[in-house]
Amino acid sequence: QVQLVQSGAEVKKPGSSVKVSCKASGDTFKNYDISWVRQAPGQGLEWMAEIIPIFGTPKYAQKFQGRVTVTRDESTSTSYMELSGLTFEDTAMYYCARRRSSAPRFAFDVWGQGTMVTVSS
């Protein structure tokens, strides 16, 4: 069964960093781009970043440029998203999602279950 499994919920202090993992199983990880999307409570979906396979340079939304770092480890089929300089406005559910790299028309067909990040003093 194809799935993306994310790490567990986090509670962080303002100004700190959080690192969320997304582990793929059931398919060939290197065939997929991985995007990160967040959703603040009661709000819509917000695309943050994407990383393509092997030696791809991550792409970041301008809003998060300088604060977010996305990486991937092909040996463990895992992607990571690290967000620094946390503020209360970063409290949100963070999702990873995959998209087939070699098929531009394909969209994000498998999503992780989400990781809740709460920023609290």
Partner 1 sequence: AIPMTQSPSSFFASTGDRVTITCRASQDISTYLAWYQQKPGEAPKLLIYAASILQSGVPSRFSGSGSGTDFTLTITFLQSEDFATYYCQQYYSYPRMFGQGTKVEVK
Shortest Cβ 100–partner 1 spacing (Å): 10
Of 38 and 77, CB closest to partner 1: 38
Of 2 and 14, CB closest to partner 1: 2
Q: CA 118 → CA 10, 53, 69, 81, distances in Å?
A: 6, 30, 19, 15
23, 32 in Cβ contact below 8 A? no
Shortest Cβ 107–partner 1 spacing (Å): 4
Shortest Cβ 38–partner 1 spacing (Å): 11
C-alpha span between 117 and 38 (Å, rounded): 10
- Interface residues with partner 1 (CB under 8 A) are 35, 37, 44-47, 50, 59, 61-62, 95, 97, 99, 104-109, 111-114
Q: CA 13 → CA 10, 36, 56, 63, 84, distances in Å?
A: 10, 22, 32, 21, 11
Of 35 and 78, CB closest to partner 1: 35
Of 48 and 119, CB closest to partner 1: 48
Shortest Cβ 112–partner 1 spacing (Å): 7
Q: CA 41 → CA 77, 84, 118, distances in Å?
A: 29, 20, 10
